[in-house]
């Protein structure tokens, strides 16, 4: 009976692995098939080693290299910032804080890191959306407010913020919807210590 159950379990696992492999190969095949027209127009070496990505310009250019270099740059910059801070914090918690208090502080660090990570991920969406609205408002109202001798702070606070209220609200909703997509980051960060 035990061997029978093990054989069924082995069959299910094998079938799942084969099915997953087939699905991955089908996705890869579909991506390659859809890429053929693009790769006929753009040389593969230009796509990999070109110097710019401007698909919407008149002289559109497609290159993957700037994205790879930007990702590497950001990754190395993040490592350079976080390593000394993390090592210093770990030394402090290990040598200057009692073990019981250290575990509580580590839990708070995990939660704060998750919140900061999510905030940083949402920051560009809010900034980009609001900047477009503020630029339109600036074109419409700033010259008039300057001619009246109104200060920038007054213009921003009394004129621009009410003008952009709807845009700010919409961008908040968009950012909130992104939190649902990106919540896995917080879950991962909070559960990091539990997996150790």
Which percentage of the chain shows pLDDT scores above 70?
Answer: 87
Q: What is the pLDDT of residues 15-55, one digit of tens each?
A: 888 888 898 899 888 888 887 777 777 777 777 777 776 76
From first CA to last CA, the distance across the chain in angstroms is 36
Which percentage of the chain shows pLDDT scores above 90?
Answer: 2
The domain segmentation of the chain, as residue ranges, is 1-41, 43-96, 98-196
Mean pLDDT, rounded, of the chain: 79
CA distance 128 to 44: 32
Q: What is the pLDDT of residues 158-176, one digit of tens each?
A: 888 898 888 888 888 887 7
Categorize the per-residue pLDDT at 193 as very low, low, confident or very high, splitting at 50, 70 and 90: very low
> Which pLDDT belongs to residue 146?
87
Q: What is the pLDDT of residues 130-144, one digit of tens each?
A: 888 888 888 888 888
Specify which of 4-13, 62-71, 75-84 reaches the highest per-range mean pLDDT. 75-84
The residue whose two tokens read 């997509």 is 181
> Which pLDDT belongs to residue 22?
92
- pTM of the prediction? 0.47
Residue 191 vs residue 87, higher pLDDT: 87
């Amino acid at each position: 009976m035990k061997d029978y159950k093990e054989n069924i379990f082995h069959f299910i696992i094998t079938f799942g692995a084969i099915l997953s492999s087939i699905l991955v190969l089908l996705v890869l095949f579909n991506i390659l098939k859809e890429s053929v027209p693009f790769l006929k127009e753009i040389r593969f070496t230009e796509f990999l080693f070109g110097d710019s990505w401007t698909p919407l310009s008149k002289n559109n250019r497609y290159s993957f290299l700037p994205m790879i270099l930007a990702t590497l740059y950001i990754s190395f910059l993040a490592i350079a910032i976080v390593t000394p801070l993390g090592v210093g914090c770990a030394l402090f918690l290990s040598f200057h804080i009692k073990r019981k208090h250290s575990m509580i502080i580590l839990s708070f660090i995990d939660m704060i890191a998750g919140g900061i990570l999510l905030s940083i991920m949402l920051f560009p969406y809010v900034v980009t959306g609001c900047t477009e609205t503020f630029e339109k408002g600036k074109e419409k109202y700033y010259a008039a407010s300057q001619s009246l001798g109104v200060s920038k702070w007054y213009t921003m606070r009394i004129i621009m913020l009410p003008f952009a209220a709807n845009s700010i609200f919409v961008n908040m909703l968009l950012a909130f919807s992104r939190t649902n997509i990106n919540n896995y980051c917080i879950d991962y960060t909070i559960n990091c210590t539990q997996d150790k």
